[in-house]
Chain A
Amino acid sequence: MSAASGNRRKKGRPGKAGNQTLPSGSQDKNLEMDALRRGAISAFILFHLVVIACFAVPTKALAGAKEMVLPYMRWSGLFQSWDMFAPDPQSVNSYLKAVVITKDRHIKVWSFPRMEELSLWQRFRQERYRKFAEVLPQQQFAPIWPDVARHIARFFNSQSDPPDKVLLIQFQSEIDPKAGKSAEPTPRPNVFYDDYLQPGDLQ
């Protein structure tokens, strides 16, 4: 199998002659096809090396190029950002709670799963909630806050006393790396969403 034939699999039985038995015209044609194939693959490789670099290298110099390649990266699923704990790790501990107020003015509290309170297995399985709760309060995700409020309200849905209003609250405490964990300040609440539910929201 020639190098140029790429990933193509030979269909013939083992030991059978390949191109050796072909007339020279066919050989030339095959070589030409192999060169074409290799050229096409090289173009594919080069294109992807460039777009991935433009998209994921964290420099302002490539900001314009990133905008250009963004549609392809989004479409293809090749979007990526390797900024874990970077440029600096978070300097706050945070968790989320929701307060649901019913039509009869009863107050119910729902907590997003807090990893530090879960068993090892639950932590392993529910880690997605940690990530979700971490990014949810960011302003860029404001359009999904009503979805989250509705989802939580459904947990308390009842015919006799349905939910009426939902508040989403983030509790944060600054990390002082020099202090022990017990010396951590009391978390401060920040209500980042509060709104009434609309008729039909709990359907």
Chain B
Amino acid sequence: MTLRTVVEAWNRFFFKPQSPVPIALFRILYGICASTTILLLHSDWLNWYGVHSWVSLSSMRQIEPGMRLNLFTVMPQDDRWIAAFFWVCLLSAVLLTLGVWTRLTSVATFLCLASIDQRNLLMLHGGDTFLRVAGFFLMFAPAGAALSIDRLVRLRRGLEGPEIEPRAPWAQRMIQIELAFMYFTSFWWKMKGHSWLDGTALQYVLHLHSITRFPVPLWIQSAVVLKLGAWFTLVLEFSLGVLIWFRRFRYPLLLLGLLFHLSIDYALNLPMFSWDVLTAYILFVDPSDLERWWRGLVRRFQATGPQRQLLGSAKR
């Protein structure tokens, strides 16, 4: 392998133009998850982030010092301002979902989510982290190039044709890398303990009262099944981190990952975690497959003109 082949592979991976439909679909799912996260917090906006919240801004800065992208540090410490901030966050996430002023709203949504996370770091789960990190790279992606109001406006003004121009997917690749990295480091962390290796980990997880959601069938709670489940988790997390980059394993792994997260969502009360992570699965679907499925749907539902124009037919 020469430096030249490495450079060529790098350029192909990050810069070879491809349809922006996957990143546009991701934008929609991401926006829905971001909006839901903000809405779920609604009744506690001021309890968690207000002037007299559980943790004051100064205490948070004391335990987590350093410069941070945190809009709470620059906004007046007044509950009306803080409530208004959350409404702006929600509006921004909704507009991002619809693809209105996509670049601007992706930046605004990232700033909002980052600020919300930074303001109280004690109550975050993996889903919040993933939304924040993926949101960072989404700001750089051509997320409004398809399936967006922005595109409809450009079509109406004659600035674009019915075909969607392929774009360099480097920002999409970074979100994909982040997802794979998440699984791989989760695997790595688990390998540092002993309970995942000896297969007892899930027995503890299912005994955590505060985290259980729906009742798990008794046969699943048997030591043998839970042991297999723990080892399956290790294998799957490693595979989703590494083998997902190989085309032949990709779709089976995505399906297993989907079932894995649905099982987590059934058994454990971790609101939004699985959904936040699953949003990025769409980025691993080949645009040509997406297009084929979309055309099948269009044929089935006899789509009208504007629906076809939203997606267009991506150049390859």
Q: Which residues of A contact B (CB under 8 A)?
A: 1, 3-7, 9-11, 13-15, 38, 41-42, 45, 48-49, 52-53, 56-59, 70-71, 74-91, 93-95, 114-116, 120, 123-132, 134-136, 140-141, 143-144, 146-148, 150-151, 154, 175, 177, 181
Which residue of B44, B142, B163, B210 is within 8 Å of A7 (Cβ)?
B142
B145 and A9 contacting across the interface, CB-CB below 8 Å: yes
Which residues of chain B from 200 to 235 have a CB within 8 Å of any chain A CB?
Answer: 200-205, 207-213
Assembly CA distance A134 to B269 (angstroms): 14
B136 x A77 contact (CB < 8 A): yes
Q: Is the CB of B129 within 8 A of A1?
A: no
Given contacts A80-B133, A132-B54, contact A38 B63 (CB under 8 A): no
Write 15 A-B pairs (CB below 8 A) sorted by A numbering.
A6-B170, A7-B142, A15-B161, A57-B185, A74-B67, A77-B113, A85-B201, A87-B193, A88-B193, A90-B204, A93-B209, A115-B269, A124-B269, A126-B44, A127-B269
Q: Are B207 and A41 in contact (CB under 8 A)?
A: no
B63/A115 in contact, CB under 8 A? no
Closest chain B CB from A29 CB (angstroms): 20
B14 close to A45 (CB less than 8 A): yes
* Residue from the list B142, B174, B210 in contact with A114, Cβ < 8 A: B210
Complex formed: what's the CA distance from A95 to B285 in Å? 42
- With a CB–CB cut-off of 8 A, which chain A residues contact B159? 11, 13-14
Instruction: Determine the chain A residues whose CB is within 8 A of the CB of B161 once the complex forms.
Output: 14-15
A93 touches B54 (CB 8 A): no
Cβ < 8 Å to A, chain B residues 16-64:
16-17, 40-41, 43-44, 47-48, 52-56, 59-60, 62-64
Contacts of B64 in A (CB 8 A): 74
Of the stretches B85-93, B114-122, B301-309, the one at the interface is B114-122
Q: How many residues of B contact A (CB 8 A)?
A: 88
Chain B residue, CB-CB nearest to A5: B168
Q: Is there a chain A Cβ closer than 8 Å to B110's Cβ?
A: yes
How near does chain A come to B196, taking the closest CB pair, in angstroms? Answer: 7
With most chain A CB atoms within 10 A of its CB, the pick from B69, B110, B202, B209 is B209
For the complex, give the distance between the alpha carbons of A116 and B174 in Å.
38
| A78 in contact with B158 (CB, 8 Å) | no
CB contact between A116 and one of B59, B200, B204, B209 (< 8 Å): that residue: B209
Q: Name which residue of chain A comes closest to B13, CB basis.
A: A45
Interface readout for B140-156 with A: 1 if CB under 8 Å, 0 if not?
11100100000000000
User: Cβ of A91: which chain B residues have Cβ within 8 Å of it?
Assistant: 204
Which residues of A lie under 8 Å from residue B190 when comparing CB positions?
85-87
Quick check: A147 and B54 within 8 Å, CB to CB?
yes
Instruction: Across the A-B interface, give the 6 residue pairs with the lowest CB-CB distance, nearest first.
Output: A87-B193, A14-B161, A177-B203, A77-B114, A86-B189, A88-B193
| Bound-complex Cα distance A80 to B158 (A) | 43
List residues of chain A with CB within 8 A of the CB of B171.
7
Closest to B23 in A: A7
The distance in angstroms between the C-alpha atoms of A87 and B168, with both chains bound, is: 38
A84 contact set on B, CB distance < 8 A: 125-126, 186
**Which of the residues B122, B203, B211 comes within 8 Å of A141, measured between beta carbons?**
B122
Contact partner of A38 (CB less than 8 A), chosen from B11, B62, B122, B211, is: B11
Chain A residues lying within 8 Å of B133, measured Cβ to Cβ, are: 77-78, 80
Indicate whether A82 sits within 8 Å of B189 (C-beta atoms), given known contacts A77-B118, A89-B195, A148-B54: yes
- Closest residue of chain B to A3, judged by CB? B15
- Kindly list chain B residues whose C-beta atoms are within 8 Å of the C-beta of A7: 140-142, 167-168, 171
Let me know if B123 and A128 touch, CB within 8 A: yes
Which partner residue on chain A sits nearest B48 by CB separation?
A: A128
Bound complex: CA A70 to CA B195 (Å): 30
B293 within 8 A of A: no
CA distance A13 to B54 in the complex (A): 55
Task: Return chain A residues, CB-CB under 8 Å to B194.
Answer: 87-88
User: Does the CB pair B174–A3 fall under 8 Å?
Assistant: no
Q: Does B178 contact A52, Cβ atoms closer than 8 Å?
A: yes
Q: Which residues of A are found within 8 Å of B63, using beta-carbon distances? A: 140-141, 143-144
- Could you list 7 further interchain pairs (A-B, Cβ under 8 angstroms) beyond the known A75-B66, A116-B212, A175-B208? A77-B68, A77-B113, A89-B201, A120-B213, A127-B270, A136-B122, A146-B59
